[in-house]
Amino acid sequence: MNWTPDRHSHLSLHIQIVEWITTRIEQGEWPVGTKLPPQRKLAELLGVNRSTIIEVLDELKADGLLEMKRGAGTFVSNNSWNILLNKSQPNWHKHIQASIHKPNYHTIQLINEYEQDSSIIRLGTGELSPDLLPTKLLEQSLQAISLNARDIGYSEPKGSKRLRIILSEYLQKRGIHTSPESILIVSGALQALQLISVGLLEQQSIVFQEYPSYLNSVHPFQSAGMQMVSVERNERLVETLKVIRGKKQSLFYTVPTLHNPTGSNLTPLERKELLEICAELQIPIIEDDVYYELLFEESLPAMKSLDQTGQVLYLGSVSKTLSPGLRIGWVVAPEPVIKRLADIKMQTDYGSSAFSQEIVAHWLSTGLYEEHVVRLRQQLKERALFVEDILNKDFSQIATWENSMGGFYIWLRFNEPVVNKALFLKLIKQNVLINPGYIYDPSDWHHIRLSYAYATLEELKEGLTILLGVIKSESSFML
């Protein structure tokens, strides 16, 4: 033993000796069971006071690296290597548990996992089937797009100026009159919600929503410290909002056209009334309008088209119509709000994909997009009718539903509360994946969000047959 602590070091003698003994154990020089010299001898060898050695040994015993055997001395502990291994690795579990972002429901984590399995029949997926994506046309459009160096660099904070100009013209068909400066390009509508949650609200703000709600299946506001409150649109809505909000900041999130998950629509009058109520209480509205182009019949007005005071933050996207992989959406809002969200976005990802923005700009400006949407609506309508025929034939005695008015979904309600975690897991074992109602409203054991947009017709038929069989075996339905 020829080491002694450095009395000129910025580290104390105590710390130096602790690190020295720990290193001897880590490097295997002092294996398990090694007996240390007596305290007096160790103090003499290291040139320190015995009191310093006593403090060092007490600390290492408390850490579990050393153990005292009465009458025999001090030894390297049997568990020392495990302790050192754990100490050398970050405690990731502790980091995860203490992190800001809320974990998603286990059911949704399983949905995200099993959606990657090609053998699974996906009865709830909010995504277009690969068969419905205009893959060939997208490939051809890549050849028609002319790029320069600036096009494929970082875009402006608000996104591609060209795309924003095209969008401002395109949105006029929706009755929304806005300048390019009041549009922000985002990586899908979900990113817009995340930006709003950290950019426009203080902690413990109230986010109102109707139930069931898509927001319960993702946590952009919850993770930012907001309180989610589900409310009913009835004659007491004004008083309800006023009492719950108190003096806190608040927003009202709504999907008035082809609501997710129910597929329902607010009437023009209901839209006007909700806008007036929120305007009276000075509660901004987030209008999530990503499905409106998929209405089977005549389009309904956007709430933003009725907005004269900048009350509505409007969200759009091509994820539900053109391709989710492009990750292109937009926010329309007053210019100060857009500047604020753009600043946060630049701090987050330095802009959405330049290539994707060029593709979307090309499709919107050439008419390719509108031609595609017309075809897509017809294909989705055929799928909806196919599923409704199966429901009428096999499910009419055990469930109720409204025929789809567009989009992806049928909100299927079983007469008995059978839609629980056990049903979800049993269906997975039979290679069928559903979106149960309880991920949109924790107290809902009756509903399934049934999607006709992703699975093939053959898979839809097979999946519904399996669903019916499991329901029969697990419930008291008299079929």
pLDDT digits (tens, 9 = 90+) for 316-331: 999 999 999 999 999 9
Q: How would residue 104 be classed by pLDDT, with cut points 50, 70 and 90? A: confident
Burial class (CB in 10 A: 0-12, 13-18, 19+), 292: buried
- How far apart, in Å, do the first and last CA atoms of the chain sit? 85
Give residue 87's pLDDT: 61
Q: How would residue 476 be classed by pLDDT, with cut points 50, 70 and 90? A: low
Q: How far apart are CA 213 and CA 222, in angstroms?
A: 13
Query: Is a pLDDT exceeding 90 seen at residue 432?
Result: yes
Q: Give buried/exposed letters for 46-79 (b at 16+ CB in 10 A, else e).
A: bebeeebbeebbebbeeebbbeeeeeeebbbbee
Please write the tens of the pLDDT for every residue from 200-238.
999 899 999 998 999 998 888 988 889 999 999 989 999
Amino acid residing at 85: L
**Between 18 and 477, residue with greater pLDDT:** 18
User: What is the residue whose two structure tokens read 């909100």?
Assistant: 411
> Crossing angle of helices 368-394/354-366, nearest 10°?
90
β-pair type (66-69, 206-210): unpaired
For the chain, what is the mean pLDDT?
92
Query: Is a pLDDT exceeding 50 seen at residue 479?
Result: no
Q: How would residue 478 be classed by pLDDT, with cut points 50, 70 and 90? A: very low
Please write the tens of the pLDDT for every residue from 328-358.
999 999 999 999 999 999 999 999 999 999 9
Q: How far apart are CA 175 and CA 303, in angstroms?
A: 9
Amino acid residing at 27: Q
Give residue 142's pLDDT: 87
Percentage of the chain exceeding pLDDT 90: 78
Please write the tens of the pLDDT for every residue from 440-475.
999 999 999 999 999 999 999 999 999 999 998 876
Give residue 105's pLDDT: 85
User: What is the residue whose two structure tokens read 């599923």?
Assistant: 387
Contact yes or no for 387/452 (Cβ under 8 A): yes
What is the pLDDT averaged over residues 2-31? 89
Give residue 291's pLDDT: 97
CA pseudo-torsion sign 238, 244, 249, 253: negative
Query: Is a pLDDT exceeding 60 seen at residue 89?
Result: no
Give residue 456's pLDDT: 97
What is the pLDDT averaged over residues 352-380? 96
CA distances from 327 to 130, 218, 262, 265, 434 (A): 16, 17, 24, 25, 24
Radius of gyration for the chain, computed over Cα atoms and rounded to the nearest angstrom? 31
Contact yes or no for 110/435 (Cβ under 8 A): no
- The tokens for 127 are 């995504």
Amino acid residing at 463: G
3-state secondary structure of 26: helix
Contact yes or no for 84/22 (Cβ under 8 A): yes
CA distances from 158 to 66, 205, 241, 339 (A): 60, 26, 33, 7
Please write the tens of the pLDDT for every residue from 247-269.
899 999 999 999 999 999 999 99
Query: Is a pLDDT exceeding 90 seen at residue 120?
Result: yes
- The tokens for 182 are 């009041």
How many CB atoms lie under 10 A from the CB of residue 310? Answer: 14
- The tokens for 235 are 């004659």
Give residue 402's pLDDT: 97
CA distances from 42 to 68, 219, 249, 274 (A): 15, 58, 65, 80
Contact yes or no for 467/405 (Cβ under 8 A): no
Give residue 85's pLDDT: 61
Question: Which stretches of 300-415 are assigned E, i.e. beta strand?
Answer: 312-317, 329-332, 399-400, 409-414
3-state secondary structure of 125: coil
